[in-house]
Structure 1
Amino acid sequence: MLERRTLLAAAAASSLLAAMRSPAQAALAAPDGEGAKLTALYERIYNMLVDQDPEFATALGLDKGERAAAKSKLADRSPAGIKRGQDLYRLGLKELQAIDASKLSGMDLVNYDTFRGPWEDYVKAYDSFSYGLHSWPEPHPVTQLSGTYRSIPDFLVNQHSIANAADAEAYLARCIDFAAQLDNETGRIKDDHAAGIIPPDFVIDRTLNLFESIMAPAPDANVLTKNIQAKTADIPGDWASRCAAIIKDKIYPAMQRQAGELRAVRPRATHDAGVWRLPKGDEYYAYALRYATTTGMSAEEVHKLGLDRMAELSARADAIFKEQGMSKGSVAERMRALGKDPRFIYPNTDAGKAELIAKLNEQIQEMQRRLPEAFGRLPKAKCDIRRVPPEIEAGAPGGYYQIPALDGSRPGAYYINLRDTAENPSWTLPTLTYHEATPGHHHQIALAQEAEGIPSLRRLPAYSVYTEGWGLYAEQLADEMGVYASDPWGRLGYLQSYMFRAARLVVDTGLHHYRWSREKAIQYYNEALGTPEGSNVTEIERYCVWPGQATSYMVGQTSWVRIREAAKAALGDKFDLRGFHDTALSAGAMPIEVLESVIERWTAGLKA
């Protein structure tokens, strides 16, 4: 999966002009008067986004030069700060509506369609719901997976660079601002709690455990102190002691106030897991599904797709198990047994975890060698593999991707959760690597950042159905490229990954539409997947606080495959897989129906 800021900032794009060959395709880039106005609008909105969000500027490597002051600040989590972000979409939509779409064609029309419908939906949501619209639909700002308390330390450690004393001072300024933003967020959750918007009891309990873990070290042993100490070894100054003082006097007290608010509201929390329990909860979930999938699929349709895919994938896994002499028990029971097989478990030690990461690097290198088989354009940016920071790994997902800096100063990063190596048997790892790194998220997003000829804003909105759909499609592509030709266990890992995403459709709609309990959803995962119960609990609790988001993977993957197969059927021998991929990625991240229109035009151009 993509990290939170990536979901807001990243997009898959490349130079469409380079991929265009026919006259019909070349026309995609032809601008006109309305197209020029559209591009100018998008550039203004892009610059406003960067200026409003200093963390975004740092993530993109733009916190220097004229924007150097951004490096001393964090994003404003106050109600006023969130309203400013929402007002950008209101402004953008108003100006977008003033553009005459009938005079747009080609890529200008793609650019227009990419935002017009979604922005209308966002603004309607802002007018309809009083909670949970800071970024994607997320009803509670502070949970085991969300909140300043966990995101800012990770951000400062992994994205704030320190090359000189000014950078170190900026780091300390951000630490001071960290405390202020914690209090801004605490004020927001107090207002939510007063309005009856309270997380489930198990979410509060998990979150309070994380607070205790984060605040357990003495200030001089906190990760923020250790980070600046390591990064300023050659920079004179008492940086570590100053940081520790900020943690002691400002950050820890602000965290304690936030944790205190959660403890205070805990007696009012219920065990109900779905957003149906919240004000206008059914409407909120319908919006969350539209946001996640960019389609009009109903919860019932999403649920049925999940059940159908589970049946198909389980049958495929059953056939492989039987070929390997494992025929007793359900597919889930055999998956569970395979997951405990010592042959496939790395030692749960620092050495074992280092060995695991080394193996992931080998898989990336081997895939890099194969990429020209399926792609004409390859990204220049590299991808590092890193461990999820131990202090947040308890509540973090199994893996996620962080975007590279635009200026090349920081590579992309694929984070893997190594809280327990037993959760990562070796047969499950290749497909995770192909999803998060290459040919998945890193391949797609790095190309976006290296793109030319499209507005900067078109590189930013990571429509989850497009990006996560691509990540899951990349897993299938790896199989089609032959990576499992002599590795049946690895192919089982790939099928289990797909079953995992299909099951998400079932449990997400189960929790939020059919009103399943947390326990029923966990039981479904235990019985259907064979993955460890501990990781199943973490996943189900994720869906409880991020409604809809998990449906984007399989809905997106099925859409990518449907669009590809339609192009193959239309083109026959003229179909070129590399051309399909280059064109689809070069057109930028977009809603599914817009992607479909881009490929239909590409197909028409090749048939002409």
Structure 2
Amino acid sequence: MIDRRLFLAGSALFCMGAGDRVSDISAQLDDAAKVDGQERIDLLRRIDRNGLPPGLALDVAAALRGAALEVALAQATNAKARYLLQLRLQAGLDISPDALFAWCTRRADAITTRLDRLLQAEGLTRNSVAERLRLLARDPRYLYPDSDAGRDAAVEEMNRWLVAARARLSAQFGTLPPAVDHIAVRRMTQAEEAAGKAGYRVVPSYDGSTPGAYFVDLHDIRRRPAWSLPSVVHHETLPGHLLQLPLQARANPHPLRLRAASGFIEGWAFYAEQLAAEAGAFAQDGRAEIGYLQWMLFRLGRAMIDIGLNLRGWTPDYAGTFLRELQGDPMIFAPFEKDIAKARSDPGGFAGQAANWHGFSQLRASALAGGRDVRALHDRLLAHGAFPLALFNAI
């Protein structure tokens, strides 16, 4: 007969041993983060990855991938080679710039065609799609008053979209953090609004005991037409950042993993907007769909000028004209000149975000084609926090 007390004691010792190993490997990762180059790679290669929990295994594998790409970047001898490596590092995927640019172009063309039909339904039938978007953005019928009442009305409407988004989650995700019931869109303080503070998030705790919020930037409210805000709700709250980030905080990925997966978080939020649209969020509201599609053009345009400026010889003037002709007015927080400067100073950054959006979309299409449950896919993607999508099959 087995002595249950001995069994429990042995289990406790086993758990303690497993905990010690996790702590030891975490310490090894911390040591690797203090050095760089080949020295970091050597330290990471010494880690025994056999039998590690999935999150910790991702930490080590992602850290190794990132370190190897950084060493290759330091050794690259020409601008094209550097950009190819920068995109792989920023994207966490082995995607070619040409393939990504072609995907962005196809998406932008399809979106522009859809926008043309939606704008015609609004009575805007003449001139380019970009010019008609500019006209719609200035239509006083869709602008909130520049007052406390106007700002309160905008926030109230965004929270209605949030309630609807929350109701759709169970069809898209199998496991949800309690946090999703404890978030809201909120106004900034008057001092923040007067200072022109950018929108920001407060991430809720996983269990919702500390609530979360998105504080929307409404200081220049006349540049935020009502139809442009619903997609912001899906990007910033559900099923976007305020779903993904509480799960990530709970998983506590190592900084070296996050460094090797910098495009994941924004790429997820782009994909979240797409998920909302495909779930029917805008089916009864053509103007809200226009807003969503303009946001998608904005995100695609950023990726395309990133590749164009850094790999295809585009000038800043050409990139600025390209963006104006693609999306109409710049977004309130992203003047064209600012985005062009960012694309030049952080090569692969915008493109890496779009590459993750593309990667999530491909994984979902593959799951659907194979008859697999998309909810399980989404749970798998989010359970351990951000990671390079090149490592997807390892989780």
Q: TM-score range by the shorter chain?
A: 0.7 to 0.9
Task: State the distance in 1 between where 2:151 and 2:337 align.
Answer: 23
Instruction: Map 1:551-562 to 2 at 5 A.
Output: 551-562=351-362
Partner of 1:520: 318
* Residues 347 and 545 of structure 1, relative CA distance in 2, 3 Å threshold: farther
For the pair 1:40 / 2:39, whether they are aligned, the reply is no
Partner of 1:583: 380
Q: CA deviation at 1:352?
A: 2.4
Task: State the distance in 1 between where 2:223 and 2:79 align.
Answer: 34
Q: State the SS of the aligned residue for 1:464.
A: coil
Task: State the distance in 2 between where 1:564 and 1:106 align.
Answer: 25
Q: CA deviation at 1:529?
A: 0.7
Q: CA deviation at 1:91?
A: 6.5
- 1:131-166 Cα deviation digits (max 9, x unpaired): xxxxxxxxxxxxxxxxxxxxxxxxxxxxxxxxxxxx
Q: State the SS of the aligned residue for 2:258.
A: coil
Moved more, 290-299 or 87-96: 87-96
Count of residues in Structure 1 that have an aligned counterpart in Structure 2? 372
Task: State the distance in 1 between where 2:256 and 2:239 align.
Answer: 18
- 1:183-237 Cα deviation digits (max 9, x unpaired): xxxxxxxxxxxxxxxxxxxxxxxxxxxxxxxxxxxxxxxxxxxxxxxxxxxxxxx
Q: CA deviation at 1:510?
A: 1.8
Instruction: Map 1:430-509 to 2 at 5 A.
Output: 430-451=230-251, 456-457=253-254, 461=258, 463-509=261-307
Q: State the SS of the aligned residue for 1:475.
A: helix
Letter of the structure 2 residue corresponding to residue 43 of structure 1: S
Q: Is contact 1:400–1:415 with CA below 8 Å preserved after alignment?
A: yes
Instruction: Map 1:253-268 to 2 at 5 A.
Output: none
Q: CA deviation at 1:405?
A: 6.3
Q: Is contact 1:45–1:88 with CA below 8 Å preserved after alignment?
A: no
* Residues 456 and 532 of structure 1, relative CA distance in 2, 3 Å threshold: closer
Q: State the SS of the aligned residue for 1:375.
A: coil
Q: Is contact 1:427–1:489 with CA below 8 Å preserved after alignment?
A: yes
Instruction: Map 1:166-245 to 2 at 5 A.
Output: none
Q: Is contact 1:387–1:415 with CA below 8 Å preserved after alignment?
A: yes
Task: State the distance in 1 between where 2:299 and 2:92 align.
Answer: 18
For the pair 1:120 / 2:120, whether they are aligned, the reply is no
Partner of 1:16: none
Q: State the SS of the aligned residue for 1:87.
A: coil
Letter of the structure 2 residue corresponding to residue 97 of structure 1: R
* Residues 405 and 443 of structure 1, relative CA distance in 2, 3 Å threshold: closer
- The answer for unaligned runs of 5 or more in structure 2 is 1-13
The equivalent position to 1:420 in structure 2, one of 213, 220, 238, is 220
Q: Is contact 1:448–1:459 with CA below 8 Å preserved after alignment?
A: no
Q: Is contact 1:317–1:492 with CA below 8 Å preserved after alignment?
A: yes
* Residues 557 and 357 of structure 1, relative CA distance in 2, 3 Å threshold: same
Report the RMSD for the aligned CA atoms in angstroms.
Answer: 3.6
Moved more, 519-528 or 462-471: 462-471
The equivalent position to 1:95 in structure 2, one of 43, 49, 73, is 43
Letter of the structure 2 residue corresponding to residue 515 of structure 1: G
* Residues 373 and 518 of structure 1, relative CA distance in 2, 3 Å threshold: same
Q: State the SS of the aligned residue for 2:263.
A: helix
Letter of the structure 1 residue corresponding to residue 300 of structure 2: A
Q: Is contact 2:239–2:272 with CA below 8 Å preserved after alignment?
A: yes
Q: Is contact 1:336–1:532 with CA below 8 Å preserved after alignment?
A: no
Q: State the SS of the aligned residue for 2:214.
A: strand
Partner of 1:369: 167
The equivalent position to 1:301 in structure 2, one of 99, 102, 109, is 99
Q: Is contact 2:244–2:385 with CA below 8 Å preserved after alignment?
A: no
Task: State the distance in 1 between where 2:98 and 2:393 align.
Answer: 23
- The answer for unaligned runs of 5 or more in structure 1 is 1-30, 50-83, 130-278, 599-608
The equivalent position to 2:369 in structure 1, one of 565, 569, 594, is 569
Letter of the structure 2 residue corresponding to residue 119 of structure 1: A
Identity value in percent: 28
Q: Is contact 1:310–1:502 with CA below 8 Å preserved after alignment?
A: yes
Task: State the distance in 2 between where 1:89 and 1:287 align.
Answer: 15
Letter of the structure 1 residue corresponding to residue 381 of structure 2: A
Task: State the distance in 1 between where 2:193 and 2:78 align.
Answer: 37
The equivalent position to 1:331 in structure 2, one of 122, 129, 143, is 129
Letter of the structure 1 residue corresponding to residue 383 of structure 2: S
Partner of 2:11: none
Partner of 2:348: 548
* Residues 563 and 407 of structure 1, relative CA distance in 2, 3 Å threshold: closer
* Residues 40 and 106 of structure 1, relative CA distance in 2, 3 Å threshold: closer
Task: State the distance in 1 between where 2:70 and 2:204 align.
Answer: 27
- 1:352-388 Cα deviation digits (max 9, x unpaired): 2333223222322232233222222222333353549
Task: State the distance in 2 between where 1:345 and 1:114 align.
Answer: 45
* Residues 407 and 327 of structure 1, relative CA distance in 2, 3 Å threshold: closer
Q: Is contact 1:526–1:533 with CA below 8 Å preserved after alignment?
A: no
Task: State the distance in 2 between where 1:410 and 1:45 align.
Answer: 32
Q: State the SS of the aligned residue for 1:414.
A: strand
* Residues 532 and 361 of structure 1, relative CA distance in 2, 3 Å threshold: same
